[in-house]
C-alpha cells in the first residue's frame, strides 16, 4: 500500500520539458502513457486526421471498467513561447526559482495534468478495490484548431463504451487564489462578417454613386447600442463587440464600392446560433428598408453556450474545494471557450484548476505550493466521488 503522496513537481517539470507546441506531441503523451501504464491504467493512443488540418495525437487512459466513471480531461499542447530572450528562464527548461516552476504550459495546463495524474495514481494505489473507474482524456489539439482532438476522442469513447458519468476539465479556472472559482459553463461565440455593396464614384458627385458606408455605419451603430439580454443567475449579459470596419479605400476623394464590418457576439443559453442569426437578419432588414443597398453576411459558429446546472456533482466538487482550500468557490461561466464545450454533449462537465494569472504569457509559471494544493483538491474530489452515491 502506497502511503507517500506522489510529488507533482517532477511530473510537471518533465511535462514542461516536452516541447509540445500545438500540434507537436513533443513526448508529453508518451511520458503520461508510460507513467499511467505502470500504475495499472489501460492506455490508448489515438491519432486523428482530417484533410487540411495537422494530424493530432491524443491519449485515453482508464483504470477500472465499472460505474461510476469519473474522467479528467485536459491537454498537453501549449502555445508558442514567443520571444525566447524575453523569458527570465528558458521556456522549456522547467527551472525552479523563488518557489515557482517556470515554463510554457506550467499553468495552461500541464500543471493540472500533473496534479490530477498524481492524485489518481495515489488513489488507485491506496484504495484497493473500489466501485467505479477513473479515466483521462488528454488531447494535443486544444490550443490549435480543436478538430482532431477532444471532440474525436469523445466519439471514439462513445463507440467503445467509455463515456464517463462526470468529467472535470483541468483548465486554470481560478482568478486570484486557488479555490476561488469553478466554471460550470461557458458563453457561446458567434462571429459575423457583414458586407454592403454600392457603386464607386467621385466624392464631388455623390449623387452619381451609391455609398455603402452610411448604410453599414447605421447598422453597426444600431447593433452596437442594442441590449441582447440582462443576463441571469449564472451568466453576465451577452455582449457584442465590433472588431472591424473596412472599405479598402486609400483615396480621400473616391466613394468606395463596398463596405465590410466584423463583429462577435458572446451569449448565454438564452440564445442560439439560429436566434442570433434571426436577430441580425431583422436589423439588416430594418436598415435596408431605410437606406437600401445590397446586403450579405456570413456567420461563423464558434462554440455554443452551455451550463452544468448546480446539483450533486457540482456540489461535491464545490465542497471538496472548500474543504481543502478553505474557500467556497464561485460558480462561474466567464471566459472564452474550452474543450468542455465538446464534453457537455456527452456528460455533465465542469472546470477546475489553478490560477490563470500567467497563462500564455512570457515567464508563465506556477508556484510549487499551488501545484501541490491543486493535487490535494483533486485527491479530495476523487475520494469523495467514489464514496458518495451521486
Known catalytic residues?
77, 142
Residue 258 phi, psi dihedral angles, 5° rounding = -150, 145
The rounded distance, in Å, linking the Cα atoms of 65 and 27 is 27
**Overall size of the chain counted in residues:** 390
Residue 233, burial from CB neighbour count under 10 angstroms (0-12, 13-18, 19+): exposed
Judge contact between 40 and 125, C-beta under 8 A.
no
Residues 6+ apart with CB under 8 A from 85: none
109 CB neighbour count, 10 Å cutoff:
31
Q: Cell digits for 139?
A: 488531447
| Three cell numbers, residue 130 | 473500489
Amino acid at each position: 500500500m502506497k502511503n507517500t503522496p506522489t510529488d507533482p513537481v517532477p511530473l510537471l517539470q518533465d511535462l514542461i520539458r516536452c516541447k509540445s507546441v500545438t500540434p507537436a506531441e513533443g513526448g508529453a503523451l508518451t511520458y503520461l502513457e508510460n507513467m499511467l501504464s505502470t500504475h495499472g491504467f489501460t492506455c490508448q493512443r489515438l491519432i486523428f486526421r482530417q484533410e487540411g488540418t495537422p494530424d493530432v495525437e491524443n491519449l485515453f487512459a482508464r483504470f477500472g471498467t465499472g460505474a461510476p466513471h469519473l474522467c479528467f480531461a485536459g491537454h498537453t499542447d501549449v502555445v508558442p513561447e514567443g520571444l525566447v530572450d524575453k523569458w527570465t528562464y528558458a521556456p522549456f527548461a522547467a527551472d525552479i526559482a523563488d518557489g515557482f516552476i517556470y515554463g510554457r504550459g506550467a499553468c495552461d495546463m500541464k500543471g493540472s495534468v500533473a496534479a490530477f495524474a498524481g492524485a489518481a495514481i495515489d488513489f488507485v494505489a491506496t484504495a484497493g478495490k473500489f466501485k467505479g473507474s477513473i479515466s483521462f482524456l488528454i488531447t494535443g489539439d486544444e490550443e490549435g484548431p480543436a478538430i482532431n482532438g477532444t471532440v474525436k476522442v469523445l466519439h471514439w469513447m462513445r463507440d467503445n463504451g467509455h463515456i464517463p458519468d462526470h468529467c472535470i476539465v483541468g483548465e486554470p479556472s481560478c482568478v486570484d487564489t486557488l479555490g476561488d472559482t469553478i466554471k460550470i459553463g461557458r458563453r457561446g461565440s458567434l462571429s459575423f462578417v457583414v458586407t454592403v455593396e454600392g457603386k464607386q464614384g467621385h466624392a464631388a458627385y455623390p449623387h452619381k454613386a451609391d455609398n455603402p458606408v452610411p448604410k453599414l455605419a447605421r447598422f453597426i451603430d444600431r447593433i452596437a447600442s442594442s441590449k441582447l439580454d440582462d443576463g441571469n443567475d449564472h451568466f453576465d449579459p451577452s455582449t457584442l463587440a465590433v472588431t472591424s470596419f473596412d472599405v479598402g479605400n486609400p483615396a480621400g476623394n473616391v466613394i468606395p464600392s463596398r463596405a465590410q464590418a466584423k463583429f462577435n457576439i458572446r451569449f448565454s443559453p438564452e440564445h442560439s446560433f439560429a436566434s442570433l442569426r434571426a436577430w441580425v437578419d431583422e436589423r439588416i432588414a430594418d436598415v435596408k428598408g431605410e437606406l437600401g443597398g445590397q446586403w450579405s453576411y456570413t456567420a461563423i459558429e464558434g462554440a455554443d453556450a452551455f451550463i452544468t446546472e448546480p446539483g450533486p456533482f457540482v456540489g461535491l466538487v464545490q465542497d471538496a474545494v472548500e474543504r481543502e482550500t478553505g474557500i467556497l468557490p464561485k460558480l462561474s461561466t466567464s471566459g472564452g471557450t474550452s474543450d468542455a464545450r465538446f464534453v457537455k454533449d456527452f456528460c455533465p462537465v465542469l472546470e477546475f484548476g489553478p490560477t490563470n494569472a500567467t497563462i500564455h504569457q512570457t515567464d508563465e509559471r506556477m508556484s510549487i505550493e499551488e501545484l501541490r494544493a491543486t493535487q490535494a483538491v483533486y485527491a479530495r474530489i476523487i475520494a469523495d466521488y467514489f464514496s458518495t452515491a451521486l
